[in-house]
Amino acid sequence: MKSNDIQAVILDWAGTTLDYGCMAPLHVFQKIFEEKGIQITEKEAREPMGLGKFDHICALLNMERIALAWQTLYGKKPDQQDGQALYEKFVPALMENLSDYTTLLDGVLEVIEYLRANQIKIGSTTGYTRQMMDVVEPLAKQQGYQPDCIVTPDHLPAGRPAPFMCFQNAIALNVQSMKHIIKAGDTISDIKEGVNAGCWTVGILEGSSELGLSPEALKTVSTHEFYRLCNETRKRYYEAGAHYVIQSIRDLPWVVATLNSRET
């Protein structure tokens, strides 16, 4: 192994390794706002995806249209207490159906096999809490996926886009330079997390929340529309600072090989 070779890959969970389209939290965000009398669109619900779920709710409340609707209904701008009240509704609603959204994406097990064969450690970060991952982790393991490290935003100074979960992975995996790590994910906050940590950062198109296609929508979208959405998503990833954007998680070994072929 050369001194600049990749030693670890840190993967996101929902929308990256399982739950095509990151559907589990999406409808719950819409539901809790609808119960407060505010309809939020799928696009709005997805925009902060990848953040910790409390931070995600606060980001939604801070969107101009949603904040105005809230003020019209309740006579005041939404605040931290409103965010906490929504979060307390979000958690049990998500937990109720979370186990239904843990199917691995196509290609994940093949990529894991490649990483293991090349002695590359596998870490992970997520917007889910430890409580939520206690549901997801064993169901992923039953399908053959078990990373070496799982870091959630609980008990850290901040979740994404802060770099702390990546740093915690580096400690747990004993990787001493972030330049030996690839961070891959399916949201803009994943990209910013990796950039802020100093990792090589990769955006994934297929299955991603950023692409915004559910498994059902994928079956009906035209080829032209699919690639139009891919091109728009690719642009957003690069604008956020991604070093690479790949069509599918299956292409991750190509990124590893490309980085390992560097002379310096």
Binding-site residue set for Mg(2+)? 12, 14, 186
Residues 28-38: b if buried by 16+ CB within 10 A, e if exposed: bbbebbeebeb
Binding-site residues = 12, 14, 186
Residue from 251, 260, 151, 158 nearest 203 by CA: 251
Pairing of strands 244-246, 181-185: unpaired
Among residues 2, 5, 12, 134, the one annotated as catalytic is 12
In whole angstroms, what is the distance from residue 43 CA to residue 139 CA?
Answer: 28
Burial class (CB in 10 A: 0-12, 13-18, 19+), 65: exposed
Concerning whether 12 is annotated as a catalytic residue, the answer is yes
Structure tokens at 125: 């970060």
Half-sphere exposure of 228 (CA within 13 A, CB side): 5
In whole angstroms, what is the distance from residue 46 CA to residue 200 CA?
Answer: 24
Q: Which long-range contacts (CB under 8 A, 24 or more apart) does 73-80 make?
A: 73/36, 73/37, 73/38
Concerning whether 53 is annotated as a catalytic residue, the answer is yes
Among residues 2, 5, 19, 53, the one annotated as catalytic is 53
Please identify every residue annotated as catalytic. Answer: 12, 53
